[in-house]
Amino acid sequence: MKALSIREPHASKFLNEEKTIETRTWKTDYRGDILLCASKKPESVISGHAFAIAELVFCRPMLETDEWLACCEIYDGAYSWVFKNLRKIDPFPIKGQLGLFEVEYGDR
């Protein structure tokens, strides 16, 4: 399964359903389920753990209207990764990576 590391406080905002858009300076053509993982640093309760699965439905240049759901202001070169259908999972340790990366994820 594809996975994406997200830094805090943004990972927790996804977990608390305050955020549905992640921003990156690169785009992807991938659409579908992605395992969301919290980066090890900065430290938080979920740091270094996979915590949810969400469906990536759009990836497009960031718009000013995305700022609220991205929990950040628009910036040069930003792409909005728009997620829906967030499903929380029992967190489990994972070593994050840059970019989209592959992980084995089955019934846990």
DSSP string of 51-101, one letter each residue = EEEEEEEEEEE--GGGHHHHTS---TT-EEEEEEEEEEEEEEE----SSSE
Whole-number pLDDT of residue 73: 97
Whole-number pLDDT of residue 106: 67
pLDDT tens-digit readout, 37-90 = 999 988 999 999 999 999 999 999 999 999 999 999 999 999 999 999 999 999
Q: Using an 8 Å Cβ cutoff, are 83 and 101 in contact?
A: no
Helix (H) or strand (E) segment spanning residue 35: strand 32-38
Split into its structural domains, the chain has a count of: 1
* Cis peptide, bond prior to residue 42, ω within 30 of zero: yes
d(CA 14, CA 35): 12
Of 12 and 104, more confident: 12
In a domain, residue 103? The reply is no
In a domain, residue 105? The reply is no
Domain that holds residue 28: 2-97
Structure confidence at residue 108 as a pLDDT band (50, 70, 90) = very low
In a domain, residue 33? The reply is yes
In a domain, residue 42? The reply is yes
The pTM is what?
A: 0.91
Structure confidence at residue 99 as a pLDDT band (50, 70, 90) = confident
- Identify the CATH number of the domain in which residue 60 sits: 2.30.130.30
In a domain, residue 20? The reply is yes
